[in-house]
Structure 1
Amino acid sequence: RHGNLSRAAEALHVTHGAVSKQITALEAWLGTPVFERTARGLIPTEAGTVLAPVVAQAFDALADGVRRVRRGAGPSTLTISVLPSFAAHWLIHRLPRFLDRHPGIDVRFFTTRRVVDLTREDVDLAIRYGRGDWPGVHAEKFLEESLTPVYAPAFLDRHPGRAPMDLLRHAIHSHHNDDINWRRWREAAGLPADEIPAASEYDDTAVAMQAVLGGQGIMLGRSALIRDDLAAGRLVRVSEIDIPSTEANYMVCLERSRSRAAVRAFRDWLVEEARDA
C-alpha cells in the first residue's frame, strides 16, 4: 500500500529493519521476489501483484472476525459512521423507531466528516453524502435531496425592510460544490448566474447550519437537513424555487457485510424512513 519501507514500518509500529527482514524471509520462502527495489521505492513484481489482493482479502476477513470478538458484539452490534450534520438533523430523532423495532441491536455512532476505511476501522457501515463512486465498497442510494436558500427569522431582524431576495449576497458556504450550486439555483430563479461572494465560509455543514439558525446569513439548504426546521419555523425559504442536488445519501458497507442481519435491518429501515420522509 505504501510502496515505502519506512512508511510501512510506521503504519505497523515496527522498525524499518523488521519490515525489510520479513519481506526478505517471505521472498526466500516463495522462491521469487515480490518487490523490485528502485530509487523511488518498492514496485510489486508480477508475483507480488498476484499475491497482494489475495493476502489483503485474507487479512480483511481475519480483521473483521477479530473486531467482532474484541468488542464482544457478535452480529447484534452496529457501528455506524455518519456525517455530524446528517446525524443531528435527520437521523437521531428517527433512530428510536429503529431501536423499538430491533431491541436486540446495539447501535453505536461514529460521527466524522472523514471517509472512514471500512476494511481497517471498527465500523460496520457508513452513511455518506456524495455520488456513490467510492471504490471497494457497496454503496446503495436511499435518499435524494433538493437544494433551496433558507434563512432564520432573526436574519431579517438584522436587515429591516429588506426582502430576502435582496440579501442573497449574505451567502454562507458550507460545501465544496456551493459555488456551482448557487449558480445553478440563480439560473433556475432567473437571476444572473454570477458567483455570489460568501459572507462566511465553513467546512462543516452542521456548523454552517448553526450560523444560519443564529441569523448570520442565507445558506443553500439540503432538503433532508432543513425539513424539520422549516416545519418548526426556525428556518424560512427565500422562495419556492429549488434545484435537485447532484449528490445523494448512500448506505455504504463492505460487500461481505451486506448479508449480516443487523446491516440488512438497518438498510431496510433507512429505505423506509427515506420513503416516508
Structure 2
Amino acid sequence: MRRKIPSTAALIAFESAARNQSFTKAAQELSLTQGAVCRQIAALEAFLNIELFRRSRRGVVLTEAGQSYARRVAGQLDAVERDTLAVMGQQGAMNIELAVVPTFGTQWLLPRLKDFQRLHPEVTVNLTNRTRPFLFADTEFDAAVYFGDGDWSGTRSHLLMRENAMAVCSPALLQDQAQLSAEQIAALPLLQQTTRPYAWRQWFNAQGLNSPRDMSGPRYELFSMLAQAAMHEMGIALIPPFLIRRELDEGRLVMASTHSLASDKAYYLIIPERKLESAALLHLRDWLVREASAYAESSGLN
C-alpha cells in the first residue's frame, strides 16, 4: 500500500520556511532559488489540501494549521537526521543493545566489560536497564541479561549463574552479636524485593519457621535500593553477596545469618533466535558465559 507521505524535499523546504518565517531565508539556507522553495511549499499545500502560509506583500505568516504541522514535521525531521547520523557512524563497527537487570549490570557486569572491550574493540555494548521480560520484536534490543527460569519464547537462553541470597544488615542492628537467629530476624523490619515477593517466606520455611510478617515491610524494585535501605538501618534484606561485594568488604553491610536462600531461578543471557548468527553476539555470549562460570566457581555459586 502506498503511504500518504509528501516528498521529503517539500517537507524540508516547509520546515525551513516555517522556522525562518521567510521563503527568501529558507532559499538561502537550502541553497535553492526562492522560486524553487515556493513551488515545493505550493506542492505540499496541494498535497495536504490545506493552506500552510498566508501570503502578503510584507511576507508570509504561518496559518494555525501551518503552525501545528510545522511543530510535528520539525520533530520528525530531527528524528530522521539523528537516525541517519547514527547509521552512518556505525559503518565498520558492531553494536549490541543489551537489556540488563539493573544491579547485576552495575555491580557485576560493568566492572568486567573493559576486558571484553580489550578482546573485541570492534564491538560496542550499550546497556539499558530492564527488570522484566519484554518482546524483542517491540524493542531495539539484541539480547538481554535476565533473572528467571530461562523460558523466553523465541529465544535461546544461556545460563550465567545462580543466586544465593543471604540476610544482610547494618552492623548497628547486630548489637555486638556475631549472628542473629531466625527468630530474632523475624522480629526486625524485613526489607522486601519486588520481583522476589516470597523470598523471606522461603528463607524462614527452609529453617522450619513460619513468620506471620514474612511478606510485610517496605518493597523495593532493585537490590541496590535494598542495600541502601539496609545500610541506613531500615531493616534486614535478602541480597546475593556478589551484588554487594564492596559494601561487605567495607563493613557497611554484614551477614546477619549464615543461612542462604538458594533460588530455583538464575541469571541468563537471552538471545532471540533471529540474532543467533550475529558475530558480535557470539563474541559476547562466549565471553560472558566464560566470565560467569569462572566467577561462580571461584565464589562457590555452582
TM over 0.5: yes
Question: Residue 191 of structure 1: CA displacement?
Answer: 3.0
Q: Which residue is 2:264 aligned to? A: 246
Are the aligned partners of 2:107 and 2:244 in contact in 1 as well (CA < 8 Å)?
Answer: yes
Q: State which of 160, 164, 173 in structure 1 corresponds to 2:192.
A: 173
Distance in 1, Cα, partners of 2:242 & 2:235 = 20
Higher Cα Rg, which structure: 2
Task: Go from structure 1 to structure 2 and tell me whether the alpha carbon gap of 1:256 and 1:220 turns closer, same or farther (over 3 Å shift).
Answer: same
Distance in 2, Cα, partners of 1:82 & 1:132 = 14
Q: Which residue is 2:112 aligned to? A: 94
Whether 1:220 and 2:238 are equivalent positions in the alignment is yes
CA displacement, residues 130-182 of structure 1 (integer Å, 9 cap, x when unaligned)? 111222222221111112211122444xx677964324431100134333x22
How many pairs are equivalent? 210
Are the aligned partners of 1:150 and 1:219 in contact in 2 as well (CA < 8 Å)?
Answer: yes
CA displacement, residues 58-79 of structure 1 (integer Å, 9 cap, x when unaligned)? xxxxxxxx9x957736661111
Higher relative contact order (CA 8 A, sep 6+): 1
Are the aligned partners of 2:229 and 2:235 in contact in 1 as well (CA < 8 Å)?
Answer: yes
Q: Secondary structure of the equivalent of 2:137? A: coil
Distance in 2, Cα, partners of 1:135 & 1:70 = 33
Q: Which residue is 2:96 aligned to? A: 78
Specify the code of the residue in structure 2 equivalent to 1:208.
Answer: L
Task: Go from structure 1 to structure 2 and tell me whether the alpha carbon gap of 1:267 and 1:232 turns closer, same or farther (over 3 Å shift).
Answer: farther
Question: Residue 257 of structure 1: CA displacement?
Answer: 1.1
Alignment identity in percent?
Answer: 29
Task: Go from structure 1 to structure 2 and tell me whether the alpha carbon gap of 1:73 and 1:254 turns closer, same or farther (over 3 Å shift).
Answer: farther
Distance in 2, Cα, partners of 1:162 & 1:265 = 45
> Structure 2 length as normaliser, TM-score?
0.61
Once the two structures are superposed, the pairs formed by residues 101-116 of structure 1 within 5 Å of their partners are 101-116=119-134
Q: Which residue is 2:226 aligned to? A: 208
Task: Go from structure 1 to structure 2 and tell me whether the alpha carbon gap of 1:231 and 1:95 turns closer, same or farther (over 3 Å shift).
Answer: same
Distance in 2, Cα, partners of 1:246 & 1:73 = 43
Are the aligned partners of 1:184 and 1:193 in contact in 2 as well (CA < 8 Å)?
Answer: no
Task: Go from structure 1 to structure 2 and tell me whether the alpha carbon gap of 1:99 and 1:164 turns closer, same or farther (over 3 Å shift).
Answer: same
Q: Secondary structure of the equivalent of 1:86? A: helix
Q: Secondary structure of the equivalent of 2:217? A: strand
**In terms of mean alpha carbon deviation, does 84-93 or 193-202 score higher?**
193-202
> Structure 1 length as normaliser, TM-score?
0.66
